[in-house]
Amino acid sequence: MNLELTNRILTNETYCKELDRLRKLEKDRVFCGHDIEHFLDVARIVMIICMEKNIEVEPDVIYSASLLHDIGRSEEYTENIPHHIAGKKKAEKILDETGCCEDMKKKILSLIFNHSNEDNEKDSPESIFYTADKKSRLCFACASRDICNWHENRKNIKIEV
C-alpha cells in the first residue's frame, strides 16, 4: 500500500509541533484524546468499511486526512474556533509543505472539513469518515462515560463488526 504522503506528513516539522501542542493541551483531559492512536483507528475503520461496501478510496488520502483531521482542536480549546475550520487551514499549510498534489489536497481537505458533519451524502468518503471517527471511540471501556456529553444512544456500548 502506497502511503507516501502519509509518511511525509508524519515527519513534517509543522505537523510534529502541532501534535505536541495538542498533546500538552489535552494533558489533563478525561475524555477521548486526539492522538496518533485515534488518527490511525479512524483510518483503519474507514478502510474496513470501504472494503465491506466495495467502495474504492485512495489509502494515502484516507490516512493523510486521518492524521490531520483533529489538528485544529488546539484552536478550538484556546480560541473557540471550530476544529474542522481551524484544522482545514492548518492542514492546507502542511499539505503544501509536504508537496501534496492538488487533487489529493482537495479530497483530504474535504474529509477534514466535513468530518463532524452528520449530513454528508450517504456512502460518500466524507460520510464514512464521519462514521469511523465516531466508531473509533471505546465508550464501553471509558472511565468518563457517565460524564461524557455524547448522547447516551450515540455511545459505542458494545463491540461491533
Nearer to Fe ion, 70 or 76 (CB): 70
Give the nearer residue to Fe ion in terms of CB position, either 2 or 32: 32
Q: Which is nearer to Fe ion, 99 or 160 (CB)?
A: 160
Helix and strand element counts for the chain (H, E): 8, 0
Q: Is the CB of 75 or the CB of 133 nearer to Fe ion?
A: 133
CB of residue 99 to Fe ion, shortest distance in Å: 25
Give the burial class of 97: count Cβ atoms within 10 A of its Cβ; 0-12 exposed, 13-18 middle, 19 or more buried. middle
Using CB under 5 A as the binding rule, whether residue 70 contacts Fe ion is answered as: yes
# of chain residues touching Fe ion (CB under 5 A): 2
Convert 16-34 to b/e letters by CB count within 10 Å (16 or more is b): eebbebbeeebeeeeebeb
We find the least distance from the C-beta atom of residue 116 to Fe ion, in angstroms, to be 8
Judged by CB under 5 A, the chain residues 9 through 68 that form the site for Fe ion are none
133 part of the interface to Fe ion, by CB under 5 A: yes
Residues 6 or more apart whose CB falls under 8 angstroms from that of 82 comprise 72, 76, 116
